[in-house]
């Protein structure tokens, strides 16, 4: 969200007056004077006008993005890499991604400005299953499935129980769906590696009852009333 709109939505003044504040050096972002009227306020920015912190009074919004491989799950990348912010330019509200998807993982990513819902979706104690479809090397035997389901050591940490379903087993690879309630760094990849079946491709196909469906890669949609109702029931 542009800084003039952000300040105006805080109820402090109009957008035109907000532009004046910016140009006159009365606005600070994260402690630094901001004189760029076109600056887009980020989710973790602290905005002050004449020494007073302001926050936009936004209505909660909820979107689902099908993140492609190669995009970083952040709204700003200091290394200049492609990020999800590059895919959601048509969203007027200031939103942020809920949780993370690795750069080499595609699929369902929820974006919102509702911090309460974001916390509930992300916290393991809420037991919200995130389901992934993985293509892995080797044979995923019943024994290996049991190990994944019960919890497995991924380097000093035992994962919580998972759900698995082998969709197709080929001579040298398998397609499998796995559902977990955690979100540790590279967790799914580490789990399959621990049973000797390293991941070749990985896609998150659902977050709880919110499913990717036929949403095209690189595009997003608003959540349906039913999906929002489910979020608020957590």
DSSP string, 40-64: BPPTT--EEETTEEE---PPP-EEE
The contacts of residue 100 (CB under 8 Å, 6+ apart) are 73, 183
Known catalytic residue at 102: yes
Catalytic residue among 40, 45, 77, 102: 102
Active-site positions?
A: 102
């Amino acid at each position: 969200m542009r800084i003039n709109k952000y300040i105006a939505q805080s109820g402090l003044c109009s957008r035109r007056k907000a532009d004046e504040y910016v140009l006159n050096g009365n606005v600070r972002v994260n402690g630094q004077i901001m004189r760029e009227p076109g600056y887009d306020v980020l989710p973790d920015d602290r905005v002050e006008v004449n020494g007073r912190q302001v926050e936009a009074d936004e209505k909660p919004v909820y979107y689902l993005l099908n993140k492609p491989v190669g995009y970083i799950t952040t709204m700003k990348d200091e290394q200049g890499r492609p990020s999800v912010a590059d895919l959601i330019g048509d969203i007027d509200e200031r939103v942020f991604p809920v949780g993370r998807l690795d750069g080499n993982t595609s699929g369902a990513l929820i974006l919102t400005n509702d911090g309460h819902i974001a916390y509930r979706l992300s916290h393991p104690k809420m037991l919200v299953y995130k389901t992934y479809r993985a293509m892995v090397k080797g044979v995923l035997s019943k024994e290996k499935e049991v190990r994944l389901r019960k919890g497995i050591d991924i380097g000093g940490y035992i994962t919580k129980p998972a759900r698995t379903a082998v969709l197709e087993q080929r001579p040298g690879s398998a397609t499998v769906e796995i559902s977990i309630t955690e979100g540790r760094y590279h967790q799914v990849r580490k789990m399959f590696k621990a049973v000797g079946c390293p991941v070749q491709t990985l896609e998150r196909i659902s977050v709880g009852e919110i499913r990717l469906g036929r949403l095209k890669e690189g595009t997003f949609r608003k959540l349906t009333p039913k999906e929002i109702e489910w979020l608020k029931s957590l």
